[in-house]
C-alpha cells in the first residue's frame, strides 16, 4: 500500500512540475505576443502618419525601375531577335512622367 501511495505522490509531483513549467511557458509566450502586438500597432501608426504626398513618387519610382528592367531585358529580343542571341544588350532607358 505504501508503494502504491509513493508512486501516486511521485506522479503528482511530476505532473505538478509539468503544469508549472507549462504555466511559465504560457506566461512567457503571452508576454511575447503582447510585445509583438504593441510593436505592430506602432508600425501601423507610423505608416499611417507618413504623408500620402510621397505615395505617387514611390509608385513612379517602383514602376519606372521595374519598367526599365523589363524593357532592358525583353526589348532587344523583340527588336533584334537574331542579334539578341549573339550580343548582350545593356542600355539605360529614361522614362519621364508628367
Q: For 28-76, what is each residue's pLDDT tens digit?
A: 999 999 999 999 999 888 777 776 667 777 777 777 777 777 767 666 5
User: Dihedral angle at the C-alpha atoms of 21, 24, 28, 30, nearest 10 degrees?
Assistant: 110
Q: Could you give the percent of the chain with pLDDT greater than 70?
A: 66
Amino acid at each position: 500500500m505504501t508503494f502504491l501511495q509513493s508512486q501516486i505522490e511521485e506522479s503528482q509531483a511530476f505532473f505538478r512540475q509539468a503544469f508549472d513549467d507549462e504555466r511559465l511557458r504560457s506566461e512567457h509566450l503571452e508576454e511575447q505576443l503582447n510585445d509583438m502586438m504593441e510593436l505592430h500597432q506602432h508600425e501601423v501608426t507610423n505608416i499611417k502618419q507618413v504623408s500620402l504626398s510621397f505615395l505617387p513618387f514611390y509608385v513612379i519610382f517602383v514602376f519606372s525601375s521595374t519598367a526599365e528592367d523589363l524593357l532592358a531585358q525583353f526589348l532587344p529580343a523583340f527588336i533584334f531577335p537574331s542579334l539578341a542571341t549573339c550580343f548582350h544588350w545593356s542600355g539605360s532607358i529614361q522614362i519621364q512622367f508628367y
